[in-house]
Structure 1
Amino acid sequence: MKNRPIYKLMDGKGRVLIPKELRTASGMDYGDIVRLELANGRVSVQKVDIIEIGDQSPEAVEAYVRAAFKTMPDNTRLSLISDLTALLQQKKEG
């Protein structure tokens, strides 16, 4: 990949698509956790393997759960989906 600037438009919800060539070069894949930081007026995006210790924000917890789910065997995923569905049904009925 050549080291050249890539320009993207931000959509109305503040989203920007990271081009495939950049995702591939940085090892980013669907479901990976990325950390966004602001320093000196610049936003940086970095793939991370784990969230920072002690960060219990809803976004960090969701990122952790999604990353863990991605690494589980299919039978564990199906079991977890079943358990969560049952909990939602109980909540809906109660």
Structure 2
Amino acid sequence: MSNGKPVYKLIDGKGRVLIPKELRSAAGMDYGDIVRLGVTNGRVSIRKIDIIEVGDQSPDAVKAYVRAAFKTMPDDTRLSLIAELTELLKQKKEV
């Protein structure tokens, strides 16, 4: 795949396409990374990004931002945040 030949994939019933590992690696993409999808002149593009565009508060953008922020936190901060969120969920269930 690194030889520049095109890769052909089928879109599944939910509209998903698997990006082969070799292509993800070449693009520096990893699990949990944020990607931006776009269409220009009938061509779909995908690009790894580090920052969500200012003002985009769509559920997908917020989720991607939270995941990206979580990945960069130290482990003790992550564990603390998980504990706090777990407690909030417990309180919600009690109501």
Verify same fold: TM over 0.5.
Answer: yes
- Unaligned 5+ runs, structure 2: none
Task: Report the secondary structure of 1:7's partner residue.
Answer: coil
Q: 2:54 is aligned with what amino acid? A: I
Corresponding position: 1:33 with 2:31: no
Aligned residue in 2 for 1:56:
57
For residues 47-70 of structure 1, what are the alpha-carbon distances to aligned partners after superposition, in whole Å with 9 as ceiling and x for unaligned? 001110110111000000000101
Which secondary structure state, in structure 1, belongs to the residue aligned with residue 62 of structure 2? helix
For residue 12 of structure 1, what is the aligned residue in structure 2?
A: 13
Q: How big is the shift at 1:11?
A: 1.3
In structure 1, list runs of 5 or more residues that go unmatched: none
AA aligned to 2:68 is: A
Instruction: Note the 1:59-74 alignment, pairs <5 A.
Output: 59-74=60-75
Report the TM-score, using the length of structure 2 for normalisation: 0.95
Query: Structure 1 residue 30: deviation in Å?
Result: 0.8
1:79 maps to 80
Instruction: Name segments (4+ residues, structure 1) moved above 6 Å.
Output: none
Q: TM-score, normalised by structure 1?
A: 0.96
- Using the TM superposition, give the Cα deviation of residue 79 of structure 1 relative to its aligned residue in structure 2, in angstroms: 0.7
Cα shift at 1:40: 1.1
Deviations 1:12-65 (A, max 9, x none): 111111111111111111111000001111110000011101101110000000
